[in-house]
Structure 1
Amino acid sequence: MSIKFLAEDDRPREKFLLKGKNSLSDSELLAIIMGSGNKDESAVELARRILTSVDNNWNQLSLLSVKDLVKFKGIGEVKAISIATALEIGRRRASQDIPEKITISNSRDAYNVLKNYLSDLRTEEFWAIFLNQSNKVIHVAQLTHGGISQSIVDVRILFKTALDHFATAVIIAHNHPSGSLDPSKDDMQITQKILGGGKTLSIQLLDHLIITQNSYFSFSDEGLL
């Protein structure tokens, strides 16, 4: 039976989207890599047969050459190369260390992350650092860019980005091209708006930095949060 005739919940790609990659069996993962089966077998059935031939062991499968793989009915050179490539990517990933995420312990740490983005600009930009529960940086993003004296941030975009990255805390920042470190009335208002929104979503606002060419102002350090 072709995949397109199976219930949607049983189709590997649809299952990936509906239930996540961890819900897929080994044969379903391999079926996605192959894309299709042959006239007698679905991609899942063909994948199951290939895996059975190597005792359902990915390491053993990685030892098969392109010539070995094309011996299976329905596996041409293109599919064989796709399988070998996916396994090689997995091998390289396993051999690499996971990069250590930067930990933010104070305003200086946050400034060091953002200063190269903001210190020399002639127009205002609004950026945010998104952190996990250990205060490790998981994402850094520019949210807006504006004129010489003001850049308005959409709070909805800020928190959508935080939710998309499963952040539990944020640090916001913008630059003052004028060189002034004094927070404006608008700076104070947006800080309080984000602080309140974060409490509703259980996303903590840790700090708001104003960055100039050579220095910065921290709302947290000044007791304004």
Structure 2
Amino acid sequence: MNYENKSFSIKSWAEDDRPREKLLLKGKSALSDAELIAILIGSGSRSESAVDLSKRILNSIDNNINKLGKLSVLDLQKFKGIGEAKAISIITAIELGRRRRLEGALELSKIASSQEVFNIMQPIIGELQHEEFWIIYLNNSNKVLLKEQSSKGGLTGTLVDVRLVFKKAIELFSTGIILCHNHPSGKLQPSNADKLITSKLKSAGDTLDIKVLDHLIITENAYFSFADENLM
């Protein structure tokens, strides 16, 4: 037998080593990230199994699933064995996971901590490559009335119109708001501009008897809370 020309098909593996069969026998939690991706792409090449191809992709991004979610169709097609259809399958699965996290967070009816704000907003702005500033409008029981993008900026900043923020709060009869924006750089420390807009919005809220409860800076994996750090 010519082993060099032998296809490394998952079907030729022991049943316990096949990702699909392993999932059925042992459950989804028993599968590694590479095995889960291998199920998505279905097959490798004549010289590489689907799992080995998946491992190669993951190794290139430090085995970080969040980084995998940032790869485009063209990025994934750079890996030998990944065509357009397989790339789309991977991106679709990652996006479904993101939406599942978002929907789970939105089921929360009342906000009681900065962590809960992060859980809601990270799937929306945590992985963006540009800054966005969002407002969460709350009623007097801290239940979410609305989440709304206030402004969208570039890589290093965004502008916020204080009048529009509180116009919406008044329309909603909101008694409190929470400010959120992301830092694409990954840095959590607030800039002078961040501190200035927080102070400006808090002062306006005090005048209108609408509390600015917190301001969160959100990155891919963490957050900074002005309230937690006693900066409100």
Instruction: Give the alignment's TM-score, normalised by structure 2.
Output: 0.53
Question: Any residues of structure 2 matched to 1:1-225 within 5 Å, and which?
Answer: 102-225=109-232
CA distance in 2, matches of 1:100, 1:110: 12
Q: Distance in 2 between matches of 1:186 and 1:196?
A: 15
Q: Give secondary structure in 1 for the equivalent of 2:190.
A: coil
Distance 1:155 1:122 in 2: 24
1:115 to partner: Cα distance: 1.0
Shift of 1:101: 6.4
For residues 148 and 185 of structure 1, the distance between their equivalents in structure 2, rounded to whole angstroms, comes to 16
Distance in 2 separating the partners of 1:192 and 1:181: 18
- Distance 1:217-1:159 versus aligned 2 partners, 3 A rule: same
Letter in structure 2 aligned against 1:217 = F
> How much identity, in percent, do the aligned residues show?
48
RMSD between superposed Cα atoms in Å: 1.4
- Report the alpha carbon displacement of residue 116 of structure 1 after superposing the two structures with TM: 1.1
The CA deviation string for residues 94-137 of structure 1, in whole angstroms up to 9 with x for no partner, is: xxxxx986101010111111111110100000001000000000
The structure having more radius of gyration, on CA atoms, is: 1
Spell out, residue by residue over 1:156-208, the C-alpha distance to the aligned partner (whole angstroms, 9 max, x if none): 11101111111000000000000000100000000000000000000000000
Output the TM-score relative to the length of structure 1: 0.55
1:152 Cα shift? 0.9
Q: Where does structure 1 differ by over 4 angstroms across 4 or more consecutive aligned residues?
A: none
Question: Is the Cα–Cα contact under 8 Å of residues 122 and 177 in structure 1 kept in the other structure?
Answer: yes
Is the CA contact 1:101–1:138 (under 8 Å) kept in the aligned structure 2?
Answer: no
Alignment partner of 1:200: what SS?
helix
Q: Equivalent residue for 1:44? A: none
Structure 1 residues 130, 118: CA separation in 2 closer, same or farther (over 3 Å shift)? same
1-structure distance, mates of 2:108, 2:136: 12
- In structure 2, the residue corresponding to 1:182 is in which secondary structure? coil
- Provide structure 1 residue ranges, at least 5 long, that are not aligned to the other structure: 1-98
Alignment partners' CA distance in 2, 1:191 and 1:210: 11
d(CA) in 2 for partners of 1:221 and 1:175?
17
- Structure 1 letter corresponding to 2:186: G
Within 2, Cα distance between the matches of 1:202 and 1:110?
A: 22
| Cα pair distance change 1:191/1:132, threshold 3 Å | same
- Structure 2: give runs of 5+ residues left out of the alignment: 1-105
- SS of the counterpart of 2:163? helix
Match of 2:41 in 1: none
Partners of 1:102 and 1:136 within 8 A in 2: yes
